[in-house]
């Protein structure tokens, strides 16, 4: 696999995940900067090599402040803001920009002190605003409620059970036990998930991602150049992005953006489902993983519940998912997309020790941003070992 | 120590959606229908985003519907809702064919189910604004 058409020949050359899960002594910019340094060192590059920069979650013109903070004067900048999937989308944007000759070396950073700020990640609030928000906000939406509504409908249409959803949380926790940096590492059982308090039905506390501090960074460059750098080359094979919303009145909320972005990613890369060795799926909630696997086409619609059972998505299973422990157990500082790309890259390089998927050649990353049951984005990326 | 009062989040009765909220204030549900392609439009927009026509006619539609999906919220995030939990945040599908976010009232949270028939409740929320809630349909 060498990647397709417009974005062929692009590589992830450097990655870094900030090890801290609680960093009350640090600022978000500090975490982003420490991550930038880490990813550049990983690639064997310096800030002076960076001529493209992308970040998200920093407010409307925060990307300028971040350029200031990192003392960058890039030829290309991107502050895509489509929620937690932004960083996955930015790898595609960066690949296209490099191919178009707008820049050669893109740094992507993320930093957040969500846990220390006691900021309720992804939660609603504010006034009812203008449409479409004003048709929703007066009725008390919450982010857990928006995903809960999706789970409720999925259960109604397909008979999916809370025990099946719990299996996702149990599997992520098992993987977190193999990741020394994960926030929660003690094993849990499906009964623990079901016995945890309901936050917004049918989702329990342990169906929900953790809230942590954290950050990370990526370096994207041409494959030809990456070959001369420090680490094994990980190729960008293809990708896609998409949005789902209720349109002008009727949305099937089991149809999510992954169906569109995933289809594009597979078509553009030429990768087949059976070629994928591992998935990094944005696990904001257990239901997100079930619906994403279905909509990406790893199983039929409605079969996601049984699909995640029996160890299939665990290390050693047919389709291991979120080997780092995911947002459910490792980290979730508000926008998890960058960690999907970081762990996929480490897996494809074979750097993951106890949680390494043996001989991993192709990884899929899928980020979801926003409120799955209201409006959300999806970004899919296929990466391959060179 | 008393908690400060947070204002209830309410829609502004202006722009494309004003006729909707004015109708709800008069205990009616009205939506625009595109006269060119026949599409019923929720929520209201200036033009039909399906066929580009600006010719929309507002019509009254029935409030009869069914619960499409719901979630019983035990932990609110907007301050106004914090002492209202548990409440039922839901999407109702009207017989007219559109799905509306809403709040279900008038029944125990454990009695709510997908497919349950519902009818509108016009909830006066301020001097200007009435919200469109739903409750189980009386037989
Ligand atoms: Zn029309």
Name the token pair of B2.
Answer: 């008393």
In the CATH scheme, what is the code of domain B62-139?
2.40.50
- pLDDT for A145 equals 97
Task: Determine the distance separating the centroid of ligand 1 and the alpha carbon of B32, expressed in angstroms.
Answer: 10
CB contact under 8 A, B71 and A140: no
Instruction: Answer whether residue A178 shows pLDDT above 60.
Output: yes
Supply angle C-alpha A315, A316, A321, rounded to 5: 35
The answer, for A139 touching chain B at a CB cutoff of 8 Å, is yes
The answer, for A359 touching chain B at a CB cutoff of 8 Å, is no
Of A134, A197, A200, the CB nearest to B72: A200
In the CATH scheme, what is the code of domain A10-117+213-234?
3.40.47.10
- A85 vs A116: which has the higher pLDDT: A85
Supply angle C-alpha A191, A193, A195, rounded to 5: 65
**CATH topology for the A133-208+237-385 domain:** Peroxisomal Thiolase; Chain A, domain 1 (3.40.47)
Looking at A263-374, which runs of residues are DSSP E strands? 278-281, 362-371
Nearest CA in chain B to A204: B74
- A207 vs A59: which has the higher pLDDT: A207
Local confidence band at A128 (pLDDT 50, 70, 90 cut-offs): confident
Distance between B81 CA and the closest CA of chain A, angstroms:
6
The reported pTM is 0.96
Distance between A159 CA and the closest CA of chain B, angstroms:
12
Q: Do domains A10-117+213-234 and A133-208+237-385 have the same CATH topology?
A: yes
Instruction: Answer whether residue A5 shows pLDDT above 80.
Output: no
Domain boundaries, chain A: 10-117+213-234, 133-208+237-385
Measured between beta carbons, the chain B residues lying within 8 angstroms of A123 are 77
Measured between beta carbons, the chain A residues lying within 8 angstroms of B16 are 131
3-state percent helix, strand, coil for chain B, nearest multiple of 5: 15, 35, 50
In a 3-state reduction of DSSP, which class is residue A239? strand
CB contact under 8 A, A249 and B98: yes
Mutate to test the interface with B, among A153, A248, A285, A334 (most CBs of B within 10 A): A248
Quickly tell me which residue has 């707008």 as its tokens: A102
The answer, for A240 touching chain B at a CB cutoff of 8 Å, is no
CB contact under 8 A, B103 and A139: yes
CB contact under 8 A, A200 and B71: yes
Looking at A245-310, which runs of residues are DSSP E strands? 278-281
In a 3-state reduction of DSSP, which class is residue A191? helix
**Per-residue pLDDT reduced to its tens digit, A12-25:** 999 999 999 999 99
Domain boundaries, chain B: 13-61, 62-139
Mutate to test the interface with A, among B9, B33, B129, B131 (most CBs of A within 10 A): B9
Measured between beta carbons, the chain B residues lying within 8 angstroms of A198 are 72, 74
Instruction: Please name the residues in contact with B110: beta carbons below 8 A apart, sequence gap of 6 or more.
Output: none
CB contact under 8 A, B16 and A131: yes
Average pLDDT of B88-115?
97
Burial class (CB in 10 A: 0-12, 13-18, 19+), B30: middle
Q: What is the DSSP letter of A328?
A: I
**H/E stretch holding A306:** helix A304-307
**Per-residue pLDDT reduced to its tens digit, A306-317:** 999 999 999 999
Average pLDDT of A360-376?
97
Local confidence band at B6 (pLDDT 50, 70, 90 cut-offs): confident
Local confidence band at A126 (pLDDT 50, 70, 90 cut-offs): very low
From residue A35, alpha-carbon distances to A15, A100, A264, B81 in Å are 8, 27, 30, 38
Lowest mean pLDDT among A236-245, B46-55, B64-73: B46-55
Sheet hosting strand A214-222, strand order edge to edge: A76-78, A52-55, A105-112, A214-222, A10-17, A234-244, A375-385, A362-371, A278-281
Instruction: Answer whether residue A250 shows pLDDT above 90.
Output: no
Could you tell me how far CA A214 lies from the centroid of its own chain? Answer: 14
The answer, for A134 touching chain B at a CB cutoff of 8 Å, is yes
Mutate to test the interface with A, among B70, B71, B88 (most CBs of A within 10 A): B71
CB contact under 8 A, B101 and A141: yes
Mean pLDDT of chain A: 95
Instruction: Answer whether residue B4 shows pLDDT above 60.
Output: no
Of B69, B101, B109, the CB nearest to A135: B101
- pLDDT for A184 equals 98
């Amino acid at each position: 696999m060498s990647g397709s058409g417009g974005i062929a020949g692009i590589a992830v050359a450097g990655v870094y995940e900030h090890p801290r899960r609680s960093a009350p002594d640090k600022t978000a910019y500090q975490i982003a900067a420490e991550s930038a340094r880490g990813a550049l060192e990983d690639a064997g590059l310096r800030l002076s090599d960076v001529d493209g920069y992308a970040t998200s979650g920093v407010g409307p013109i925060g990307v300028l402040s971040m350029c200031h903070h990192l003392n960058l004067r890039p030829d290309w900048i991107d502050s895509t803001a489509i929620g937690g999937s932004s960083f996955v989308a930015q790898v595609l944007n960066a690949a296209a920009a490099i191919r178009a000759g707008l820049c050669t070396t893109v740094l992507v950073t993320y930093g957040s002190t969500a846990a220390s700020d006691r900021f309720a990640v992804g939660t609603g609030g504010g006034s009812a605003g203008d449409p479409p928000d004003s048709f929703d906000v007066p009725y008390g939406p919450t982010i857990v409620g928006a995903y809960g509504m999706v789970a409720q409908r999925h259960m109604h249409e397909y008979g999916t059970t809370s025990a099946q959803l719990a299996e996702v949380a149990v599997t992520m926790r098992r993987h977190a036990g193999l990741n020394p940096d994960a926030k929660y590492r003690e094993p849990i059982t499906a009964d623990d998930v079901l016995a945890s308090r309901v936050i917004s039905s049918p989702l329990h506390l342990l169906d929900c991602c953790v809230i942590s501090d954290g950050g990370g960074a990526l370096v994207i460059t041409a494959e030809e150049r990456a070959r001369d750098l420090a680490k094994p080359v990980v190729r960008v094979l293809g990708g896609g992005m998409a949005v789902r919303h209720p349109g002008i009145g009727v949305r099937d909320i089991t149809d999510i953006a992954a169906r569109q972005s995933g289809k594009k990613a597979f078509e553009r890369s030429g990768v087949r489902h059976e070629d994928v060795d591992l998935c990094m799926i944005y696990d904001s909630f257990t239901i997100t993983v079930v619906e994403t696997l279905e909509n990406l086409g790893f199983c039929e619609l409605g079969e996601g519940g049984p699909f995640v059972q029996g160890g299939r998505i665990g290390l050693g299973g047919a389709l291991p998912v979120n080997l780092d422990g995911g947002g459910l157990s490792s980290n979730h500082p508000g926008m998890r997309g960058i960690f999907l790309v970081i762990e996929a890259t480490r897996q494809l390089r074979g750097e993951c020790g106890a949680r390494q998927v043996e001989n991993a050649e192709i990884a899929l990353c899928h980020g979801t941003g926003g409120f799955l049951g209201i409006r959300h984005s999806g970004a899919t990326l296929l990466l391959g070992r060179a | 120590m008393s908690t400060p009062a947070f204002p209830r989040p309410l829609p502004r009765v202006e722009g494309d959606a004003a006729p909707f909220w004015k109708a709800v204030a008069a205990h009616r549900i009205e939506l625009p229908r595109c006269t060119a392609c026949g599409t019923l439009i929720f929520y209201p927009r200036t033009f039909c985003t399906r066929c580009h026509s600006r010719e929309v006619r507002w019509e009254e539609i029935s409030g009869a519907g069914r619960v499409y999906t719901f979630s019983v919220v035990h932990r609110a995030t907007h301050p106004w809702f914090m002492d209202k939990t548990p409440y039922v945040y839901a999407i109702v599908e009207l017989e007219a064919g559109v799905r509306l976010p809403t709040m279900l009232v008038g029944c125990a949270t454990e009695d709510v189910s997908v497919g349950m028939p519902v009818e509108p409740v016009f909830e006066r929320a301020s001097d200007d604004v009435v919200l469109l809630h739903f409750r189980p349909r009386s037989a």
